[in-house]
Amino acid sequence: MNPKCAFCGRFVSWKADQATYYGSVTDCEPPDPHYFCDRCADESKLEQLSKGRPYQAYWLEPDWNREVADELGFVKEDYRWVRKDAK
């Protein structure tokens, strides 16, 4: 059985864009990954571009969030996004 998109519920392939959120201190295992269909990934990318900053709540980043960071000039440092020119 294929996974579903975390936003719209459509079935996606196992190779679809995915992300893992940070868990809580009470979790025994890492949280399950969230999968994203192409349409929802594109919408999320456009939303984050309009906000001017990549989303911070991912342990394992989705591809669209890394693309947003590259386009806006952010790099990952100490588990958070910072501007390249602020270093």
pLDDT number for residue 47: 95
> Is 78 among the domain residues?
yes
> Is 3 among the domain residues?
no
Strands (E), the chain: 17-21, 34-36, 58-60, 74-77, 80-83
CA dihedral 24, 29, 35, 41 (to 10 degrees): 40
Q: What is the pLDDT of residues 25-67, one digit of tens each?
A: 898 888 999 999 999 999 999 999 999 999 988 889 999 999 9
Average the pLDDT over 8-33 and give the result: 92
Structural domain count, the chain: 1
How many residues make up the chain in this entry? 87
Write out the residue range of the structural domain in which residue 56 sits: 17-86
pLDDT number for residue 87: 57
> Is 4 among the domain residues?
no
Please determine, for residue 1, whether its predicted confidence score (pLDDT) is greater than 90: no
> Is 9 among the domain residues?
no
Which pTM does this prediction carry?
0.84
> Is 1 among the domain residues?
no
